[in-house]
Structure 1
Amino acid sequence: MFNPSRDEARNFLFESWRKRRAKELLTPLEDLAAQLIAKHPEFHSAFEDSEAHRDKDYLPEHGAVNPFLHLMMHLTIEEQISIDQPPGIRAHFTRLTHKFESEHEAQHAMMECLTEMIWQAQRDRTQPDAALYFACLEKQ
C-alpha cells in the first residue's frame, strides 16, 4: 500500500468518505475505505466533521476507540488477504469468515492478532513476527 503520515492517513479517510457521500468518482482504494467506513456507523460523525476530529487524540486509557487506526487496520488486513501476505493469511481469513459467518467480524478477530503482533514487535524492537500472528489467529 503506502506509508502515510498520521495526517495523510486521516485526510485520505476524510476525503474518501466525503467523495462517497457527494457521489463523486473514487479510486479503488478510496472506494474500499469508504465501504469500510460505511460498515462502521459509530464512526460516521467523526468522518463527517473533519475539523473537529483531524487532530483529535484517541487514548485507550480513556476508553476511546481510534476510528482512524481501526479503519487503517481494516485496510491493512484487506491488503494482506488480497496478496496472501504473509503466506497463509487468506486461509485464516476464510476459516474465520466461516466461523463468524461474517467477513467483517473475521477481520475484527484478525485485527486483534495483528495488533498483538505489532505491539510485541514495538515492545521488543524487532520486526513483526508472522508466526506470532498466526499462532494468535489459530486461537480465534
Structure 2
Amino acid sequence: MDGPLSDEDRGMVEVMAAHPEYVDLWDRLDQLSVAEIERDGTNPIMHVMIHGTVENQIAIGDPPETAHTVEALVQHGLSRHEAVHRVGSVVVNKIWHVMQRSYPCANST
C-alpha cells in the first residue's frame, strides 16, 4: 500500500498489533484455509474486526454507551483490552440476532 494510511486502516493496524497471538497469520491469510486460520475456536479475522468496530465506536462516540461501558468495566477491574472484548461480545450477539430475525439494527432494540 502506497502513501499514508487512512484513519480506519491505521486503527486496524493498532488492533492487529494488540493481538500478537495472531501475528503469524496476517501476512499469509491468502494461503490458509478457514480451518487453518481458526485458533482455539476463534476466527482471528472476525476477532480483530469486532475489536476494531468497538474501538471505532469509542473513537466517534456513537453509540456513546460503548465508551461509557468500556470505562465502567475498566473501573471494575478489567483491562481496557478485556473490556473492549466484553463489549465486542455484545456487538456479536446483536449482529447474530439481526441476521437471524432479518430486522434492521437500531440502537433502541
TM-score for the superposition, normalised by structure 1: 0.63
Deviation at 1:119, TM superposition (A): 0.4
User: Which one scores higher on RCO, CA 8 angstroms, separation ≥ 6?
Assistant: 2
Contact 2:66–2:87 (CA<8 Å) still a contact in 1?
no
Residue type of the partner of 1:33? M
Pick the aligned partner of 1:40 from 1, 11, 19. Answer: 19
Pick the aligned partner of 2:73 from 71, 96, 99. Answer: 96
Tell me, which stretches of 5 or more residues in structure 2 are unaligned? none
- Residue 34 of structure 1: SS of its match in structure 2? helix
Residues 104, 63 of structure 1: CA spacing in aligned structure 2 closer, same or farther, 3 A cutoff? closer
- Residue 88 of structure 1: SS of its match in structure 2? helix
Residue type of the partner of 1:65? T
RMSD: 2.6
1:57 aligns with 2:65: no
Tell me, which stretches of 5 or more residues in structure 1 are unaligned? 1-14, 133-140
Other-structure match for 1:30: 9
Identity of aligned residues (%): 24
Report matched runs for 1:1-140 at 5 Å: 26-53=5-32, 56-57=33-34, 64-131=41-108
- Residue 24 of structure 2: SS of its match in structure 1? helix
